[in-house]
Amino acid sequence: MKRVILLAVIQAVVLFFIIGGLAYAFKGDFFYSHLAVVFAPIAGIWRFGTAYTTEIVLPRKAAEIAEKRKAGKNSK
């Protein structure tokens, strides 16, 4: 769960700067219509919700995928 929260926060912060940068580039105002302030947290919450739901609904499948990734990294 900590990893899911961390990834959601990182995604929200990155999207905040991307959306703000695009608003600044096109409109000359980083906080134009509060786009970055509104959409970045929504994206973070959406990411947390979908990732956490996936962990709850498909725990065995997620474990299998993680094992395959570890096996793939060890073989390289």
Predicted TM-score (pTM) above 0.75? no
pLDDT digits (tens, 9 = 90+) for 2-58: 888 888 888 899 989 999 999 999 999 988 888 888 998 998 899 899 888 888 887
Query: What's the pLDDT at 25?
Result: 94
The half-sphere exposure of 74 on its side-chain side, counting CA atoms within 13 A, is 6
Q: How confident is the model at residue 76 (pLDDT cuts 50, 70, 90)?
A: low
Token representation of residue 16: 């905040």
On the question of pLDDT at 75 being above 80, the answer is no
For the chain, how many helices (H) and strands (E)? 3, 0
